[in-house]
Amino acid sequence: MSPRIPIFNIFGPSPLRPIEAHIDKAYACASTLLPFFEIAIKQNWEEAEASYEQISKLESQADDLKREVRLHLHKDLYLPVPRSELLTMIMLQDRIANKAKDIAGLVIARHMVIPKAVQKDYLQLLQRCIDAAGQARKAINELDELLEAGFRGNEVKLVQSMLDELDVIERQTDSQQQKVRKQIFEIEKELAPMDCISLYKIVEWTGGLADRAQTVGGQLQILLAS
């Protein structure tokens, strides 16, 4: 029996590998925030600037991959799933990279330092939000296998279990985010007004990484049901 040939080898270049490469870049943007904040907490702003530039470069590379996917998804290309849903997928993935850059950019612009009373729990929140992005990446990287399986069978069950875990992680980040907000509230009087506002914004945007990862997972569920 001859080996199965992926359908895009017959009908044109697969857009799925660039989509997988794009989520890798989006995840890299998010995961680089952890060393970035570890540097910023030490107020080593020259090194923090270099870390921010790394995030910015990764975000730019994600933009390049986004354009590549759109070029591959021309209207004449045969697709086993709706073209519009794949275009939506790449847009949602891109928001993870964009938000990571926004977070680092605000910290750099204001030379923000996470208060000591908040640092431990904020970094735990950040790590769990990065975990959410990583779980979305893990699921998206099954796209080729889903294609081979015709978006049916055990592969769908495997991906669905990954998406269920993503939902669990996102709910955990909601609780962590609330805990950090409470800690900020308790020290509000010690902070300059603009520092306080910016700190709340950083926490909101950090939680937004997990929200965006979950949205990517939701879009993948739509593909599974197509």
% the chain with pLDDT above 70: 91
Residue 77 within any structural domain of the chain: yes
Residue 59 has a pLDDT of 97
Residue 194 within any structural domain of the chain: yes
Residue 6 within any structural domain of the chain: no
Number of structural domains (the chain) is 1
Higher-confidence residue: 133 or 144? 133
Banded pLDDT at 223 (limits 50, 70, 90): confident
Scan for tokens 């993948």, then name that residue: 220
Residue 78 has a pLDDT of 67
Average pLDDT over residues 162-168: 97
The pLDDT tens digits for 175-190 are: 999 999 999 999 999 9
The pLDDT tens digits for 20-65 are: 999 999 999 999 999 999 999 999 999 999 999 999 999 999 999 9
Residue 209 within any structural domain of the chain: yes
Average pLDDT over residues 73-87: 75
Query: Domain holding 71: CATH number?
Result: 1.20.58.220
What does pTM read for this prediction? 0.91
Does the pLDDT value for residue 8 go beyond 70? no
Domain of residue 101, residue span: 13-225
Task: Find, among 142, 119, 147, the residue nearest to 217 by Cα.
Answer: 142
Residue 3 has a pLDDT of 41
